[in-house]
Amino acid sequence: MVLSRPLILASKSPRRAQLLREAGFSFRVETFDVDESFSEEMPV
């Protein structure tokens, strides 16, 4: 599939990349190391 803008996958998930490839998308992977932990004070 040809897009007018580049598609960027911001995930390290191999399964997500596989699904996009199987759907015919061209993309690049760009990830960042981000702390996704929650504060103990955050309400549930």
Query: Domain map of the chain by residue range?
Result: 1-32
pLDDT at 3 over 90: no
pLDDT at 1 over 70: no
Task: Quote the CA–CA distance of 10 and 29 in Å, as a whole number.
Answer: 6
Q: pLDDT band for position 43 (50/70/90)?
A: confident
Q: Residues 4-36: pLDDT tens digits?
A: 899 999 999 999 999 999 999 999 999 999 888
DSSP run (H or E) holding 28:
strand 28-29
pLDDT at 28: 96
